[in-house]
């Protein structure tokens, strides 16, 4: 790709970007959120058309006008969100949409797929239905799909975001096999350790511009961070020892079902202390959301009780209280769900109106007070360096990181006694991530009981005091973050972990 530019309105998503992918290599594209990685790849896969610049494949200049053109050139993209039909089998999904005359020979197709699967060392059964598969198996289906269609160039958009450390290892093995076979692979990610582990070269984007490409063997975590951010950043999370921890929240035997009636939280019990950060780890969808929501009074529980012990030693049974009463007690949920604006913020409303989501009832009369929220919005914008055209911009227009800052800023501003956050830094750039981590540490030092659902195990291990691991709705264990490690957490996240093993070791 040479001098490729793409603009959306006034926003320049890619500004004269150059990129070279060699045959048989793995290239990482690294950049913070909003740096234009995905946009660039979408131009390769035919979803967007570049405003300027040229794209060459095997030395020939090409015009990629649609995903079909992209396929014809042997480019296959694996998106973050899978596009599979759950009631069909893997093989059926793979051939779906392929032009074929006459009768389909499913047997033959399955054999062909099986051959691909064994060649690259995938773990997949072509005749299994999608709805029976785990997330990593679904991802496998997506990869096999583009391979089956003859892709020579594979683009993977944040493939490891949904995987456990063990599954990530497996994926990387497969990718190495494909590399040996002469396939070229582009992998988009922002996890630096993975970049160093898997790729041959790294190209870095920053705010839509191309910064440069380095050989992975010459790169380190800090040199890559510097390229991404443009300045040296300290990657230390300040972690103090808990001072005078007191039991603040006790969760006993909580079971919840989701709308479909499946058990999503299975007899979960734990407690959270003041002045401590309790991390919650687990593959996404293991019950984290339900756990936090039941504490916040947003989720009906089948069994169990949740007790809140106030700083002056009184007891409150949260089961009896409504969401707003729980919030009045100082228990705050700053939930950052999968679709950032689904809960916690109202996308079409501006910053001021979002600030008052919790507090709009304050004051007498039927008119809602907008003066205090406006001041608060201004304060959050100033202190957390939120980039916004104005306070009256709908939050939907802000970038993901700024949305997050608005949300977390609002929750912290209410001086909670229990602060629950889920994926607090998802989509944030490195600097802001560390701002948020340190904000949480500050809250902990103030004696707040912080509960943090996270996905980056390295960070959880550095940030938290204790880590609770969820596995399909069950608490598979609580470990001391200072002495535990990634492998142990990874095992606890999948089903292979037995408590006895840990004791015997």
Partner 1 sequence: MNNKEPFVRMTKRTTITRKEAILIRALAVVLSLIVCALVIVSMTHQNPMQVYGGIIKGAVGSNRRLWVTIRETMVLLLISIGLTPAFKMQFWNIGAEGQVLVGGLASAALMIYCGNSMSGGALLVLMFLASIAAGLVWGFIPAFFKAKYNTNETLFTLMMNYVAMQLVTFAIIFWENPAGSNTVGIINSSSRKGWFPSIAGNPYLLNVIIVLGFTCLCYYYMKYSKHGYEIAVVGESQNTARYAGINVKRVIIRTMMISGGICGLAGAIIVGGASHTISTSTANGRGFTAIIVAWMAHFNPFVMILISGFLVFMQQGAIQVATQFGLNENASEIITGIILFFLIGCEFFINYKLEFRKKSREVA
By the rule CB under 8 A, 371 interacts with partner 1: no
* Shortest separation between residue 300's beta carbon and partner 1, angstroms: 12
The CA-atom distances, in angstroms, between 377 and each of 286, 380, 383, 431 are 34, 5, 10, 21
Counting contacts by CB under 8 A, is residue 335 touching partner 1? yes
Largest CA distance in the chain: 77
Q: Interface with partner 1 includes 348 (CB under 8 A)?
A: yes
Site mask for partner 1 (CB under 8 A), range 55-84, x = bound: ------xxx-x---x--x------------
By CB under 8 A, the residues from 376 to 415 that bind partner 1 are 397
Closest approach, Cβ 473 to partner 1, in A, equals 20
Site string for partner 1, 430-469 (x = CB under 8 A): ----------------------------------------
The Cβ-side half-sphere exposure at 482, using a 13 Å CA radius, reads: 7
Asked whether 436 and 425 are in contact (CB, 8 A), the reply is: yes
Closest CA to 156 of 284, 339, 28: 28
Q: Which of 107, 150, 360, 480 binds partner 1 (CB under 8 A)?
A: 360
Segment near partner 1 (CB under 8 A), from 147-155, 223-231, 303-311, 356-364?
356-364
Query: What whole-number distance in Å separates Cα of residue 282 and Cα of residue 271?
Result: 17
Q: Residue 261, interface with partner 1 (CB under 8 A)?
A: no
The distance of closest approach from Cβ of residue 197 to partner 1 in the complex, given in angstroms and rounded to an integer, is 37
Strand partners, 419: 332, 450
301 is a contact residue toward partner 1 (CB under 8 A): no
Structure tokens at 208: 């839509």
CB of 263 to partner 1, least distance (A): 21
Handedness of CA 178, 182, 187, 191 (dihedral sign): positive
C-beta closer to partner 1: residue 26 or 419: 419
Candidate list 229, 323, 329, 502; residue touching partner 1; CB under 8 A: 323
3-state secondary structure at position 118: helix
Q: CA-to-CA distance for 504 and 499, rounded, in angstroms?
A: 9
DSSP summary character for residue 498? -
Binding of residue 344 to partner 1 (CB under 8 A): yes
Per-residue x/- marks for partner 1, 6-45, CB under 8 A?
Answer: --xxxx----------------------------------
- What Å distances lie between residue 103 and 92, 96, 99, 123, 308, CA to CA? 14, 14, 12, 28, 64
44/53 Cα distance (integer angstroms) = 12
Interacting residues with partner 1 between 198 and 227 (CB under 8 A): none
Q: Give residues in contact with partner 1 (CB under 8 A).
A: 8-11, 49, 61-63, 65, 69, 72, 296, 298, 322-325, 327, 333, 335, 341-349, 353, 356-358, 360-361, 366-368, 397
């Amino acid at each position: 790709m040479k001098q490729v530019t793409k603009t959306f309105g006034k926003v320049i998503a890619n500004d004269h970007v150059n990129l070279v992918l060699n045959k048989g290599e793995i290239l990482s594209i690294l950049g913070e959120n909003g740096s234009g990685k995905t946009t660039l790849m979408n131009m390769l896969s035919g979803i967007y058309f570049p405003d300027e610049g040229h794209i060459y494949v095997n030395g020939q200049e090409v015009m990629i006008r649609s995903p079909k053109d992209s396929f014809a050139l042997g480019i296959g993209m694996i998106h973050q969100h899978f596009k599979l039909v759950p009631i069909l089998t893997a093989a059926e999904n793979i051939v779906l949409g392929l032009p074929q005359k006459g009768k389909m020979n499913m047997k033959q197709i399955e054999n062909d797929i099986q051959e691909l699967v064994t060649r690259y060392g995938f773990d997949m059964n072509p005749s299994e239905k999608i709805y029976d598969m785990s997330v990593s198996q679904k991802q496998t289906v997506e990869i096999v799909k583009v391979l089956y269609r003859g892709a020579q160039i594979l683009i993977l958009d944040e493939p490891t975001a949904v995987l456990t450390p063990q599954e990530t290892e497996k994926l990387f093995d497969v990718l190495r096999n494909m590399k040996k076979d002469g396939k070229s692979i582009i992998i988009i990610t922002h996890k630096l350790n993975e970049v160093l582990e898997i790729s041959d070269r790294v190209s870095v984007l920053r705010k839509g511009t191309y910064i440069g490409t380095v050989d992975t063997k010459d790169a380190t975590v800090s040199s890559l961070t510097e390229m991404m951010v443009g300045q040296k950043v300290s990657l230390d999370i300040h972690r103090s020892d808990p001072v005078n921890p007191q039991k603040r929240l006790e969760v006993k035997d909580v079971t919840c079902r989701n709308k479909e009636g499946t058990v999503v939280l299975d007899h979960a019990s734990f407690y959270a202390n003041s002045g401590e950060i309790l991390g919650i780890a687990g593959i996404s969808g293991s019950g984290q959301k339900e756990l936090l929501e039941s504490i916040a009074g947003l989720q009906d529980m089948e069994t169990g009780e949740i007790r809140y012990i106030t700083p002056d030693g009184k007891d409150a049974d949260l089961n009896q209280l409504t969401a707003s009463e729980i919030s009045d007690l100082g228990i705050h949920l700053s939930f950052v769900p999968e679709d950032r604006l689904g809960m916690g913020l109202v996308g079409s409303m501006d910053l001021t109106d979002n600030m008052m989501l919790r507090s709009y009832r304050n004051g007498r009369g039927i008119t809602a007070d907008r003066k205090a929220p406006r001041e608060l919005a201004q304060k959050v914008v100033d202190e957390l360096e939120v980039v916004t055209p104005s306070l009256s911009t709908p939050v939907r227009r802000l970038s993901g990181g700024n949305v997050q800052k608005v949300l977390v800023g609002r929750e912290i501003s209410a001086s909670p006694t229990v602060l629950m956050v889920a994926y607090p830094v998802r989509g944030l750039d490195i600097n802001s991530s560390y701002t948020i981590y340190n904000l949480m540490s500050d809250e902990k030092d103030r004696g707040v009981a912080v509960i943090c659902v996270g996905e980056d195990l390295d960070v959880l291990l550095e940030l938290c005091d204790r880590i609770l691991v969820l596995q399909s709705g069950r608490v598979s264990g609580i470990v001391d973050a200072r002495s535990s490690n990634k492998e142990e957490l990874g095992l606890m996240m999948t089903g292979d972990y037995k408590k006895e093993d840990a004791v015997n070791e």
